[in-house]
Structure 1
């Protein structure tokens, strides 16, 4: 039986794409072997190019694959392959470069290489691609949450980002295809689906009179699906229709990840973001009014060119005022080929890291403040694993709909089940809870949300 080994760098979408590619190999009778420990007939490296470091790491992994089995077919896909195919082809031992499209032709290319042993550069201009690449992923899950890719590409062209050039313009998956795969995932036993993409909130930009909010309502009708989570959405994409579905759908998780990137208007303008701080704050306040108790997490880039101490402090105060439930903080990293890399007033690395630590400290305080609000409350939790991966520990860990990581007493039998858990102790990265009961299928949808205490739950069970 022929064998294939995979190595994936970068984001969750890349991991999703690798799983889709594995389905192609599986249909051709391949077995999957470990990249690090077994010799394979084919090595496929799914690369990342979001930073210069991502390019370097991708090259290192490609060379490692060549050393592991010089006679194997070395295939390279992903964002670095798309933006720099000549660089990849120049690495001795590389047989195939295929980029971020045409992966459905992969097996034909590999068969051709095995027959002729001639390298193939199959990368095309991604900007001319207008269709979503449909690849079968019957079961891609992160423990108990199944991921469902609904969108590809991005139209934003932020000055710090190379992704539109590696993934192309925004393309949406056919709504019927999305709903069909959601039904398949539910039939496989998954209770929560995470909608993901390169620019997930841009779903529908290329469709006629059908937006992400319409898709959410269609997914709301999927029987047996109990939680729907959006991996990320831009503030500019939160309109009245989106707020309506977030507030009234009984299956939408009360958690949104909304990238801010900077808390000061002149920095946002240089980033070419599509909002001001005032507009961003208005969307956040509207969400809090529509969904009391909603968890809003965000991304922040620190030390963008031209960010002075005064501008950073202004942004710091803005973030503190908004009170996120968590912030993911990154130092700005030059990406060759982007406008930001050519900007003047680049910030010193030591200054960046000092600011990063200051925002991480703020994030941890906000995390704790948010979690404390739920002490004594009963929330839905789907246990994902034994606590810290220790079997028979007597503790399990899972996430609530509003993205609290909760640890409570329970056996492995609870993993994947929808549980009602009372929060007894708040923490920065995890909360402690007490199991109240395990819900029947569909009970959460009938009750209608995580951050509101259900009147139907007997008072004796909450005490």
Structure 2
């Protein structure tokens, strides 16, 4: 029995695909082991979203060969798609597998084991129109399962390489999604997160009548699933019809990640985003109309090429106006092959760091204020783990809004929904519940 170690880099879609590869390997008689010395095969699911991600991918591939020079090292995913020729020339790498070909993992491995010639499974992703149907049966998180329902992106934001490495929008069949969710529910999972490269585009390649809303409604009917979350959304999907329909679904979590990137219209235009700040603000108000105090989170890039002090201040003021639960702040990182990499007026790293610090301090205050709004209220958490704080055991989990909370007790309540009143803070980011 060959021992296989897997390592994932990048997004939740990558995580899902890594879990699927693990499942394929187990089904075909391979033994899964930790990513450490002693494995016969190392598989790294790579990321290429930034130049730094490229470097980390290379480092992990070389680390694998160093841990066992006789092992088979497999590079898979986005970095492969972007830099195939470089990886083919790298003596540390034995097999390369691009996107939309991870389903071929077992066949490629066996071919290599037979002839020991450098192998590849790679396609021109721009020409692909078929969704690569992967599946999982369980995940490392035994409570919450991320389900990939869509791949590819048609947006071509000026800073982003992903449309070139993931191809055009391809959606999974709704019946396949529902079948997988049902399978996970039978195994005890109570929460699913629907995710994709550009989730809001789900169904556009399937014709009329199938979209993200109809998919959510179908998943909502699966018995045993108690909570449904969504991955990152584009603002334009949030219409009155969409928000009203979601608010009528009992299992829907009022937790929405709406991608922003900048609160300045001039910067948004250079980024090639498809909305302005006024439209974004309107979408947040629609969500707050149909959900009571929803958790709205976002991403923001600071130091995008040409971002002046005035443009940054406009973004800062806009973030204060929206009052997000959490803001994920990223310093702009040059990605070779994108339009933004060639733009003039690149911002100095020192300025990026200063701007990032300002926004991180803001989000810390806003997050605390959002959590404080739950004090004195009855809440429900889905218990995910037992934690020890100051020598005392607590059962910890998240509310539907994805606010972390815990209650004391020795009893193992793993994967159960437990009610309690929020009476204070146990940690900076964790509410204390009294049952």
- Separation (CA, whole Å) in 2 of partners of 1:343 and 1:412: 58
Q: In the alignment, which residue of structure 1 is the partner of 2:67?
A: 68
Q: What CA deviation, in whole Å up to 9, does each residue of 1:239-282 have, x standing for no partner?
A: 23321222111110011011110000000000011100000000
Please give the residue correspondences for 1:340-379 in structure 2 after superposition, counting only pairs within 5 Å. Answer: 340-379=340-379
Match of 1:163 in 2: 162
Shift of 1:394: 2.1
- Give the Cα–Cα distance (whole angstroms) in 1 for the partners of residues 97 and 170 of structure 2: 19
Q: How far apart are residue 392 of structure 1 and its match?
A: 8.2
| Aligned twin of 1:59 | 58
Q: Count how many residue pairs are aligned between Structure 1 and Structure 2.
A: 434
* TM value normalised by structure 2: 0.96
> Residues 423 and 434 of structure 2 are in contact (CA less than 8 Å); yes or no, is this contact kept in structure 1?
no
Q: Which residue of 2 aligns with 1:192?
A: 191
- 3-state SS of the aligned residue for 2:376? coil
CA separation of 1:56/1:174 partners in 2, compared to 1, >3 Å: closer, same or farther?
A: same
SS at match of 2:392: coil
- 2:220 corresponds in structure 1 to 220
Higher deviation after alignment, 324-333 or 408-417? 408-417
Q: CA deviation at 1:407?
A: 2.2
Aligned to 1:295: 295
C-alpha separation between the residues in 2 aligned to 1:407 and 1:24? 36
Greater mean alpha carbon deviation, residues 423-432 or residues 104-113: 423-432
CA RMSD of aligned residues (A): 1.6
Query: Are the counterparts in 2 of residues 386 and 412 from structure 1 also a CA contact under 8 Å?
Result: no
Q: What is the Cα deviation at residue 56 of structure 1?
A: 1.0
Q: Specify every segment of 5 or more residues in structure 2 that has no aligned partner in the other structure, as ranges.
A: none
Once the two structures are TM-superposed, the CA of residue 74 in structure 1 deviates from its matched residue by 1.6
Alpha-carbon shift at residue 294 of structure 1 (Å): 0.6
Aligned twin of 1:335: 335
- 1:290-345 deviations in Å (ceiling 9; x for gaps): 11211101111011011100111111011101111111111100001110111001
Q: How far did residue 426 of structure 1 move?
A: 5.0
Q: Is the 8 A contact 1:143 1:385 kept in 2?
A: no
Partner in structure 2 of residue 30 of structure 1: 30
Distance 1:25 1:412 in 2: 35
Are residues 1:319 and 2:294 paired?
A: no
- Write the distance in 2 (CA, Å) between the matches of 1:403 and 1:383: 12
Distance 2:39 2:307 in 1: 48
Query: Which residue number in structure 2 is paired with residue 450 of structure 1?
Result: none
2: CA distance between counterparts of 1:109 and 1:226? 39
TM-superposition CA deviations, 1:128-147 (whole Å, max 9, x none)? 11111111211125342111
Equivalent residue for 1:204?
203
For the structure 1 residues 262 and 431, does the alpha-carbon distance in structure 2 shift closer, same or farther, using more than 3 Å as the test?
same
- Does the CA contact (< 8 Å) of 2:404 and 2:429 recur in 1? yes
User: Normalization by structure 1: what TM-score?
Assistant: 0.91
Whole-Å separation in 1 of the counterparts to 2:26 and 2:19: 10
